[in-house]
Structure 1
Amino acid sequence: FSLEVVTILVDFVKLAAIVAILLWMNVRLALVTLGIVPVLFITSFYFRQRLRDCYRAVRTRIARINSALQEAISGMRVVQLVRRERRQAEEFDAINSDHRDADMRSVLYDSAFSAAVELVGTVAVGLIIWYGGGSILRGAMTFGTLVAFLEYTNRFFVPIRDLAAKYSVLQSAMASSERIFALLDTASEIVPPGSPRPIPDDGGGAIEFRDVWFAYRPGEWVLRGISFSIAPGERVALVGATGAGKSSIIRLLIRLYDAQRGRILVDGVDVRDADLSSLRRRVGIVLQDHYLFQGTIERNLTLGDPRISPPKARSAAAISGAEGFILALPKGYEEEVRERGSNFSVGQKQLLSFARALAYDPRILVLDEATSSVDSETESQIQKAMGRLLAGRTSVIVAHRLSTVAGCDRIIVIHHGEIREEGTHSQLLQRGELYAALCRLQFGGS
């Protein structure tokens, strides 16, 4: 694209020089030649929007093709399992045909524009021969002057033809850049404070929610009047049915979203007033949807942070229980991780996620369904190491498996975005309400 821009600038310089020569040779013939310039502008204006629309359609359909390919490749096992290969191929053929048709429309307009420029150039030459021939008959011009003028006129249209060829390239680039700029111009919903308040370095990781209301869509409240506090070093569990709002509380804590009402404080500082990087450094999260990057295992543990030394990363792996399978690998910590960690089991990837969170040594550790993807043996290993994992840290555990939260200092039961119960495991069982009902559903008995 940059090379095309330079070429266009050179063409404009050539045009300016040729126009000056034409005016010097014969002003009237030069005006006849330049009289077709408005026609060129009108033609360009006519095709500009149509070419842009065509290239927009092409880019949209290329995005659909890429999305369909990515989805088909990622879900290949499911496609084969349900014997959907033929239907998948038919859907892709339909998307591909739609792209072909859009591309053919862009080729049609591009060819029509080039032909229109050629036609205008031919008409200009005809006008010059007609007017110049009459001038020769009247004795107002020599034949040599007309030949020279025709030669320069041909040279005048060479850069114009080049510009016409570049025009479609520019329109295609503009259609692509519109999508990029639309993304870059998207305003962030989370605006950093102008004068951020520092979170105390000696803070222990206290958390407080004060009458927090939150909705992803206006009027559809996910959380209603959530109020609770967690003391430094305390281990608190959030339990409830799917969609109750547990994960939304975590997203608000690290300020992925802002609450519409209420306040959220970490060590006495409102998260909306705190520096985002400082806030998120204090919170380590192990999510249900773990993600590994391409590179070595050690690189995945440190993520290139110079503050995390290799010994510190390996110590975190040992504490989390991941070191056992890492050392069994041919290259150990230098073993390459394939795309999305496809060369590791789900349980191994989850253990690596634990180790990565611990390597950052956060004051607050959040486990969001962190053991939902591991087998019973791996979960048992994690439970044994949980004391070391959570020692000295404020811990928030979101779980459906109630066996993982029975030992917590406090359990908060969320139901339909509201706090329904709060207490220890034994206290909530004695009340015989919602938490007790969840336990009966999971463990059976009365």
Structure 2
Amino acid sequence: MHSENATIKSRGTAEFLRRTLVYVKPYKISAVLNILLAILTMASYFTFPRITQFILDEVVVGAQMTLLLPSILCLLGAFLCCGLFNALRILVNSRFGQNVIFDMRRELYARVQSLPVRFFDRHASGDLLTRIVDDAAAMHRVLVDGIERAVTTFLSVAVILCVLLAKNALLTMFALVPLVILLAGTLWYTATAHRRYRRQRAAIGAMNALLMDNLQGIRQIKCFGRQAYEVGRFAAGADGVRRSVLSVMKVWAAYTPAMTFAGSLGMVLVLWFGGPMVMDGTLTIGELVGFLFYLTLFYEPVGRLDGLNQMLQAARASSERVFDLLDTASEEHAHRGVVPLKTPVRGEVVFENVDFSYDGTRPTLQNICLHALPGQMVALVGATGAGKSTLVNLLPAFYPPTGGRIFIDSQDISVLSLESLRSRIAVVSQDAFLFNGTVRENILYGKLDATEAEMLCASRAANCHDFIAALDDGYDTRVGERGVKLSGGEKQRVGIARALLKDAPILILDEATASVDSETELLIQDALQRLMANRTCFVIAHRLNTIRNADQILVMHHGEIVERGTHRELIGRGGIYARLSLMQSVDIEGGGPTEEKTLQSVSP
């Protein structure tokens, strides 16, 4: 995880602002209204020092008590306007902010959906979750709150500076002396903060990745009694976050008080030089108090600039992780196919001298040649790591071949659009993945607009209608995360129903009857026979009794097809498949080695 984050491209503040401001464009009116209300709030608040000076000099010192009530009412009105404008600003700001972060998260999630399978092989789900949720939120804060704060802060600084100069230019010069220290401190913080925030975001991403991994594997953790070990691993990840946050806050804890102290020097200097001016009559007490009020209002936004800078540096670090995701080429960009698959699809599949490598150096598949006629069943046999799953993963273009070509109905899949290609292929894997929703939603995933009658027909054909009907809420029963509330055989049959509903002409079965009892296997096999009818099927199997009727059996070893033929032909040759068939027959009768060990033992 750390190595992945280390490769994230560093981006400057200018690029960060240029790219993030794009999200504000659709809501320009809201952004302007938000800033306008903030300015009105600030203007209402700025009347307080002027009214206070008037009350002190004209009402109290001038003994004009008849003006006291109107002056107090004006002061109250100023505060009332300030509160009203601020309430409206909060409403506009909230709507504006939620619209912006919605757009950002929607774009990020859409990009994640478009990324190639290879990307997810290299990136942890928890880290991607952190980018979509936390990093997007950090960017949203600087866009919504940061823009408002920046405009109102610079505007208020400029306005109050003009007021201070108009009131007393000499005192203003003394008050501005600490700005040199504040500017130097801000430049130093900006130059050093980015690295600390990058480490913090990387540490949070790594911790979330570990957390998601552990939550998904909680049964394995408990099964092996590794709770204490995993607590230690998570503690190490959380400690990385703790240390990175403390690194940020340690500097912030020294920087903020130092800047506050520097700002307070201005007040001290004004009192030092303004006190004698009051005593010699060149300045009234009301004017001095009013000047101090305005000076407080001057340094308050100057102090906000430090917080704005901190927000900017944190958002910049987050933006690098977000833009790294957005800048990753989508699989449509890499695939480039746009031609639709010709209909009706017959299901003829040809692999022509296909090679493939995951890392570009070690070959996973070598010179794969096969020809599946429409409606044929092609079985793939071989030990773990032989390349069976990789071969079938090339068919729906989860990975592009590094050599050779793949055809469906004489069309090269590299020129086909991914949507058109994958809509014609259904997959039933060894561990059917179910979403954390209802049984109905999981079956309808095969065809979202299917009618109730179509869904029930698919369920009955998959031999799962009876057990679903017996559930407390029937088809509206929630299956839990990854279908945890259903047994393995039940999940498998729901997966078959989903594939039946999709009604694709090409079918991939990846050890679909593994790890179930004999009775459930019969139900699944019966459902699979209906599913496979009139479809071109690729079946990965270890149990040879399930593929005896296959039109072609391909025996794979180290990424190559070393034997091919029907069951009868391969038995007659007396090769690997024949020895494997004989050993499995003995194993079934005598309780010998497992099928996987048998496959390993007969490989050349």
Query: Same fold, TM exceeding 0.5?
Result: yes
Flag the 1:238–1:296 CA change in 2: closer, same or farther, 3 A: same
What does residue 275 of structure 1 align with?
417
What does residue 297 of structure 1 align with?
439
Q: How does 1:247-326 map to 2 (within 5 A)?
A: 247-303=389-445, 305-326=447-468
What does residue 495 of structure 2 align with?
353
Q: Secondary structure at the match of 1:220?
A: coil
Which residue identity does 2:501 align to in structure 1? A
Flag the 1:403–1:188 CA change in 2: closer, same or farther, 3 A: same
Higher deviation after alignment, 330-339 or 168-177 = 168-177
Alignment partner of 1:196 is 2:338: yes
Which residue identity does 1:406 align to in structure 2? R
Which residue identity does 2:460 align to in structure 1? A
Q: How far off its partner does 1:389 sit? A: 1.3
Residue 162 of structure 1, aligned match among 304, 323, 335: 304
Asked whether the equivalents of residues 350 and 371 of structure 2 are also in contact (C-alpha less than 8 Å), the reply is yes
What does residue 110 of structure 1 align with?
252
User: 2:242 & 2:385 partners in 1: Cα distance?
Assistant: 42
User: 2:575 & 2:335 partners in 1: Cα distance?
Assistant: 43
Residue 44 of structure 1, aligned match among 162, 171, 186: 186
User: 1:378 & 1:419 partners in 2: Cα distance?
Assistant: 32
Q: Secondary structure at the match of 1:272?
A: helix
Superposed CA offset, 1:210-252 (max 9, x none): 1111100012111111111111111111111111111111111
Query: Which runs of 5 or more residues in structure 2 are unaligned?
Result: 1-140, 588-601
Residue 17 of structure 1, aligned match among 152, 159, 172: 159
Which residue identity does 1:437 align to in structure 2? R
Higher deviation after alignment, 117-126 or 141-150 = 141-150
What does residue 370 of structure 2 align with?
228
Higher deviation after alignment, 306-315 or 400-409 = 306-315
Structure (1 or 2) with the greater strand fraction: 1
Alignment partner of 1:400 is 2:568: no
User: 1:262 & 1:141 partners in 2: Cα distance?
Assistant: 93
User: 1:38 & 1:181 partners in 2: Cα distance?
Assistant: 35
User: 1:87 & 1:204 partners in 2: Cα distance?
Assistant: 53
Which residue identity does 2:570 align to in structure 1? L
Alignment partner of 1:88 is 2:230: yes
Asked whether the equivalents of residues 113 and 164 of structure 1 are also in contact (C-alpha less than 8 Å), the reply is no
Q: How far off its partner does 1:127 sit? A: 4.9
Higher deviation after alignment, 378-387 or 336-345 = 378-387
What does residue 343 of structure 1 align with?
485
Flag the 1:208–1:327 CA change in 2: closer, same or farther, 3 A: same
Higher deviation after alignment, 74-83 or 281-290 = 74-83
Sequence identity, in percent?
36
Q: How far off its partner does 1:395 sit? A: 0.9
Which residue identity does 1:12 align to in structure 2? F
Q: Secondary structure at the match of 2:379?
A: strand
User: 2:463 & 2:257 partners in 1: Cα distance?
Assistant: 70
Q: How far off its partner does 1:151 sit? A: 3.6
Q: Secondary structure at the match of 2:344?
A: coil
What does residue 577 of structure 2 align with?
435
Q: Secondary structure at the match of 1:212?
A: strand
User: 1:28 & 1:214 partners in 2: Cα distance?
Assistant: 78
Asked whether the equivalents of residues 340 and 421 of structure 2 are also in contact (C-alpha less than 8 Å), the reply is no
Which residue identity does 1:347 align to in structure 2? G
Flag the 1:81–1:364 CA change in 2: closer, same or farther, 3 A: closer
Which residue identity does 1:396 align to in structure 2? F
Flag the 1:31–1:218 CA change in 2: closer, same or farther, 3 A: farther
Flag the 1:111–1:5 CA change in 2: closer, same or farther, 3 A: farther
Residue 56 of structure 1, aligned match among 198, 210, 219: 198
Report the count of equivalent residues. Answer: 444
Asked whether the equivalents of residues 337 and 418 of structure 2 are also in contact (C-alpha less than 8 Å), the reply is no
Asked whether the equivalents of residues 59 and 175 of structure 1 are also in contact (C-alpha less than 8 Å), the reply is yes
User: 1:207 & 1:315 partners in 2: Cα distance?
Assistant: 29
Asked whether the equivalents of residues 431 and 488 of structure 2 are also in contact (C-alpha less than 8 Å), the reply is no
Which residue identity does 1:362 align to in structure 2? A
User: 1:132 & 1:405 partners in 2: Cα distance?
Assistant: 98
Asked whether the equivalents of residues 196 and 248 of structure 2 are also in contact (C-alpha less than 8 Å), the reply is yes
User: 2:406 & 2:382 partners in 1: Cα distance?
Assistant: 21
Flag the 1:410–1:45 CA change in 2: closer, same or farther, 3 A: same
Structure (1 or 2) with the greater helix fraction: 2
Alignment partner of 1:239 is 2:393: no
Q: How far off its partner does 1:352 sit? A: 0.9
Higher deviation after alignment, 383-392 or 90-99 = 90-99
Q: Secondary structure at the match of 2:537?
A: strand
Superposed CA offset, 1:50-100 (max 9, x none): 443333333333334434444444444444444433343344334333333
Asked whether the equivalents of residues 192 and 275 of structure 1 are also in contact (C-alpha less than 8 Å), the reply is no
Q: Secondary structure at the match of 1:244?
A: coil
Which residue identity does 1:155 align to in structure 2? L
Flag the 1:247–1:76 CA change in 2: closer, same or farther, 3 A: closer
What does residue 360 of structure 2 align with?
218
Instruction: Kindly report the root-mean-square deviation, in angstroms, between the aligned alpha carbons of the 2 structures.
Output: 2.9
Q: How far off its partner does 1:49 sit? A: 4.8
Q: How far off its partner does 1:313 sit? A: 1.9
Asked whether the equivalents of residues 439 and 479 of structure 2 are also in contact (C-alpha less than 8 Å), the reply is yes
What does residue 47 of structure 2 align with?
none
Which residue identity does 1:401 align to in structure 2? R
Asked whether the equivalents of residues 489 and 524 of structure 2 are also in contact (C-alpha less than 8 Å), the reply is no
User: 2:450 & 2:565 partners in 1: Cα distance?
Assistant: 37
What does residue 325 of structure 2 align with?
183
User: 1:80 & 1:193 partners in 2: Cα distance?
Assistant: 42
Alignment partner of 1:421 is 2:597: no
User: 1:185 & 1:422 partners in 2: Cα distance?
Assistant: 44
TM-score normalized by the length of structure 2: 0.67
Flag the 1:78–1:196 CA change in 2: closer, same or farther, 3 A: closer
Flag the 1:357–1:42 CA change in 2: closer, same or farther, 3 A: farther
User: 1:32 & 1:209 partners in 2: Cα distance?
Assistant: 82
